[in-house]
Amino acid sequence: MMSCGIRKSMSQLTFNTMCLLKNEDNFLNGNHSLNETWLSTRPCKDTPEFRTPSLEFLTDPETVRFAFIRDPIERFVSLYLDKCLNEKNCWSCDSDMRCVVREIYSGLKKIQNHREWKSIPTYMDLHAAPLSWNCGFNNDLTKWNLLIMGADAEERKSSILQLGNLMKRQGVPEELLDKVQKDTMEGETIHSTHKSTNRLEAERQVREDPVVRDYLHKIYFFDYLVFPFNRERLDAKYQTDFWKLP
């Protein structure tokens, strides 16, 4: 099995699950949890072959790939709550969401317009980049099992059950399946924001602020075309096929 951890789309859970599957004895004997944060020391973290799969592994038809994906606007709300309100890491924007989306757009636009520079993305570029910029999706999207996650418990449960089915098909022992499904449904990582008290206000602004919405459509619209997300939350124009030639 092979996974790709997309920031603000259960990336910590993805990493911890793969670490467990890589060496279950080390993981369990070290009393590691699937809800550990990036600050934790895990046995697989510095193993080169764990981080970078071999060509043989990539070309093996038996390799199963999976990635959690998340509605882009929901993902932005999670990013804003975690990086801007909790970490205070959004430039000098503080809680100004209009400032945040302008900075995100500016940074990503520079990367898009100057690919020949091969510039190193910033911390916020990496967290805000569209889903479609991740995992080499531009080369082999059809090879990936995409697990759509949501903000509520039922949607979360559905994506975890899908992961369990993939693992079962690949021969993962039943006790590990139970651990993954139990831990992920019961636990929360420190970065989890889907129960945050600030979420309602952030979601309101995302729904109602025309400036914020304009930037979010510019940044993430392509994700809604590439992945099977519901476009009903987008402005009317973006729910049509306006970009196609007549």
**pLDDT of residue 10 exceeding 70:** yes
Helix (H) or strand (E) holding 211: helix 210-226
- What is the pLDDT at residue 2? 94
Residue 195: the pLDDT is 65
Q: Which of 33-37, 96-100, 150-154 has the highest mean pLDDT?
A: 96-100
Asked if 219 contacts 109 with a C-beta cutoff of 8 angstroms, the reply is no
Whole-model pTM: value is 0.89
Burial 87-96 (b: 16+ CB within 10 A, else e): eeebbebeee
Alpha carbons 132 and 99: distance in angstroms, whole number: 24
Residue type (1 letter), 132? S
pLDDT of residue 113: 87
Residue 108, H or E segment: helix 97-113
pLDDT in tens, 188-227: 555 565 667 899 999 999 999 999 999 999 999 999 999 9
The pLDDT value recorded for residue 245 is 67
Place of tokens 């550990």: 36
pLDDT averaged over every residue in the chain: 89
Residue located via tokens 């924001």: 193
Q: Of 45, 17, 75, which Cα lies nearest the Cα of 220?
A: 75
Residue 147 pLDDT: 95
3-state SS class at 186:
helix
Confidence check: pLDDT of 166 > 60: yes
pLDDT of residue 117 exceeding 70, the answer is: no
Closest CA to 14 of 30, 24, 26, 2: 2
- SS3 for 54? coil
